[in-house]
Amino acid sequence: MPEHRTSRQVNLVSRPDGEPVESDFEVVEVEVGELDDGHVMVRNRFMSVDPYMRGRMNDAKSYVPPFAIGEALAGAAIGEVVESRSDDLAVGDHVVHPLGWREVALVPDSQAQRAPEIADVPLSAHLGVLGMPGLTAYAGLLEVASFAEGDAVFVSGAAGAVGSQVGQIARLKGASRVVGSAGSAAKIRHLIDDLGFDAAFDYHDGSLTRQLRDAAPDGIDVYFDNVGGDHLQAALHALTAGGRVALCGAISVYNDTEPAPGPGNLTLAIGKQLTLRGFIVSSYDHLREPFLDEVGGWIADGSLRYEETVVEGIERAPEAFIGMLAGANTGKMVVSL
The nearest distance, CB 183 to ligand NAP, in angstroms, is 3
Please state, in angstroms and as integers, the Cα–Cα distance from residue 74 to each residue in 15, 107, 148, 166, 238, following that order.
15, 12, 37, 26, 38
The only residue of 40, 188, 314, 324 in contact with ligand NAP, by rule CB under 6 A? 324
Whether 77 and 96 have beta carbons less than 8 Å apart is answered as yes
279 touches ligand NAP by CB under 6 A: yes
Any idea what DSSP says for residue 195? T
Contact indicator for 306, 129 with CB cutoff of 8 Å:
yes
By CB under 6 A, residue 163 contacts ligand NAP = yes
- Per rule CB under 6 A, is residue 169 in the interface with ligand NAP? no
Minimum distance, C-beta of residue 101 to ligand NAP, in the bound complex (Å): 16
Nearest distance, CB of residue 215 and ligand NAP, angstroms:
15
Our CB check for ligand NAP shows the closer of 107 and 247 to be 247
251 binds ligand NAP per the rule CB under 6 A: yes
Q: How far, in Å, CA of 114 to CA of 2, rounded?
A: 25
Residues 6+ apart with CB under 8 A from 331: 128, 129, 159, 160, 161, 164, 306, 307, 308, 309
Binding segment for ligand NAP (CB under 6 A), chosen from 2-10, 90-98, 108-116, 248-256, is 248-256
Q: CA end-to-end span of the chain, whole Å?
A: 18
Beta bridge partners of 202: 182
Only segment of 37-45, 67-75, 300-308, 327-335 that touches ligand NAP (CB under 6 A): 327-335
Closest CA to 105 of 26, 21, 32: 32
3 state SS of 32: coil
Residue 127 touches ligand NAP, criterion: CB under 6 A: no
Q: Which stretch binds ligand NAP (CB under 6 A): 76-84, 216-224, 244-252, 312-320?
A: 244-252
The residue among 39 and 231 lying less far from ligand NAP, judged by its C-beta, is: 231
Residues that bind ligand NAP (CB under 6 A): 50-52, 133, 136, 157, 159-163, 182-184, 187, 203, 226-227, 248-249, 251-252, 279-281, 324-325, 327, 329, 333
